[in-house]
């Protein structure tokens, strides 16, 4: 299977969509069919020790297919988009050099965009002095006050960041202070999804909302049964601070409130399920905003093998002569 734009080079296939929709299982099945290897595009799976909450592939899944970009950073490292892009590009190049097919699997939109499109990513390492100063502003005046400051220097970026999202506001101001350029100036003229790279195919998985929400709630229950609470406790016992970016992830920040603040477990779990549903909605909005994503409707019965066959079929159809219809339904 070859695609136009890179003769002789294995294509890049990206499988995207909301959390709990079944991306990893479909990705493994696709990789097995094509002689591929998986490049994870998950912002939590990069951290060692954050296993259950990140829904990392288990040992049996890793035995079937090689995975890349999992466990590449310590929980207290400030792993950035630029770090991901550098490591992912190297992994994809290596996979292709060995004649295998890179299959990107994940729901972190910026990570997927970094490997399927040409971006200008601000190469600005964390500036702790700047961050500490801006965090002080948040502590004294609140995140909306800092957001107002961002509006003064980068109105376009501010329009895309919620006033209460202190972490992203601080990063945008940090980039502005270091480079003298607004964060929004690093976006391509083609918009937030960038200039598409040749020889790539993006396929999204989605399903009816209530079915997805039921799967999300079951996943949280399964994670708890698998020992997520002990995992979070172990990270705190090792001295990792609750304020770390890694421990502000879904699940970890919720259970930290139970362990350190004494909030009732049933309360934080209810909020975790609610916040995961909201995250899934944001993921769908992000990927549905990219017209290059070809969608597979999974139906009420998640049919992994049929979905994998459809992904392979869609990837084979991408050619300079056109593209398939944007939605396919997997047989139930």
Residue 320: burial class (beta carbons within 10 Å; 0-12, 13-18, 19+): exposed
Pairwise CA distance, residues 47 & 55, whole Å? 12
Would you report the helix, strand and coil content of the chain in percent, each value rounded to 5? 50, 15, 35
The number of beta carbons lying within 10 Å of the beta carbon of residue 25 is 19
CB 160 within 8 A of CB 172: no
- Give the HSE-up count for residue 196: Cα atoms under 13 Å, Cβ half-sphere: 13
65 phi, psi to nearest 5 deg: -145, 140
Per DSSP, 37 falls in state E
Instruction: From 215, 225, 224, 309, select the one nearest 269 (Cα to Cα).
Output: 224
Where is 323: in which H helix or E strand? none
Pairwise CA distance, residues 117 & 325, whole Å? 21
Tokens of 105: 């699997």
Q: Which distant-in-sequence residues (6+ apart) come within 8 Å of 23 by Cβ?
A: 15, 16, 17, 105, 106, 107, 205
The domains of the chain, with CATH numbers, are 12-119+191-329 (3.40.50.300), 128-186 (1.10.20.140)
Instruction: From 160, 155, 135, select the one nearest 146 (Cα to Cα).
Output: 135
Whether this model's pTM surpasses 0.85: no
Per-residue pLDDT of the chain (332 residues; tens, 9 = 90+): 433 345 567 889 999 999 999 999 999 999 999 999 999 999 999 999 999 999 999 999 999 999 999 999 999 998 988 899 999 999 999 999 999 999 999 999 989 999 998 766 677 778 888 998 999 998 899 888 899 999 998 888 888 788 888 888 998 899 888 888 888 777 654 445 567 788 899 999 999 999 999 999 999 999 999 999 999 999 999 999 999 999 999 999 999 999 999 999 999 999 999 999 999 999 999 999 898 999 999 976 558 999 999 999 988 876 433 344 445 545 44
**Maximum C-alpha span of the chain:** 60
pLDDT tens sequence across 207-228: 999 999 999 999 999 999 999 9
């Amino acid at each position: 299977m070859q695609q136009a734009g890179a003769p002789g080079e294995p294509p890049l296939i990206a499988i995207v969509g909301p959390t709990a929709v079944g991306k990893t299982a479909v990705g493994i099945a696709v990789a097995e069919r094509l002689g591929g290897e998986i490049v994870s595009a998950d912002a939590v799976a990069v951290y060692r020790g954050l296993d259950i909450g990140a829904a990392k592939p288990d040992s049996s899944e890793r035995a079937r297919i090689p995975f890349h970009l999992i466990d590449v950073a310590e929980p207290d490292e400030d792993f950035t988009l630029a770090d991901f892009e550098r490591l992912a590009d190297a992994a994809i190049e290596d996979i292709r050099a060995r004649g295998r097919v890179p299959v990107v699997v994940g729901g972190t939109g910026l990570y997927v965009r970094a490997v399927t499109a040409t971006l200008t990513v601000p190469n600005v390492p964390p500036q702790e002095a700047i961050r500490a100063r801006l965090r002080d502003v948040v502590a004294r005046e609140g995140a909306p006050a800092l957001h107002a400051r961002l509006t003064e220097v980068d109105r376009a970026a501010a329009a895309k960041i919620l006033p209460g999202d202190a972490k992203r506001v601080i990063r945008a101001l940090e980039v502005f202070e270091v480079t003298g350029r607004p964060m929004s100036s690093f976006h391509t003229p083609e918009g937030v999804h960038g200039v598409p790279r040749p020889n790539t195919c993006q396929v999204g998985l989605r399903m009816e909302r209530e079915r997805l929400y039921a799967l999300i709630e079951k996943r949280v229950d399964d994670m708890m049964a698998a020992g997520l609470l002990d995992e979070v406790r172990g990270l705190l016992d090792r001295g990792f601070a609750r304020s770390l970016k890694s421990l502000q992830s879904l699940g970890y920040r919720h259970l930290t409130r139970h362990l350190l603040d004494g909030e009732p477990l049933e309360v934080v779990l209810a909020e975790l399920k609610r916040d995961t549903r909201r995250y899934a909605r944001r993921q769908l909005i992000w990927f549905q905003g990219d017209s290059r994503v070809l969608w597979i409707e999974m139906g009420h019965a998640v049919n992994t093998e049929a979905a994998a066959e459809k992904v392979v079929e869609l990837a084979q159809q991408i050619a300079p002569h056109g593209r398939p219809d944007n939605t396919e339904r997997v047989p139930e």
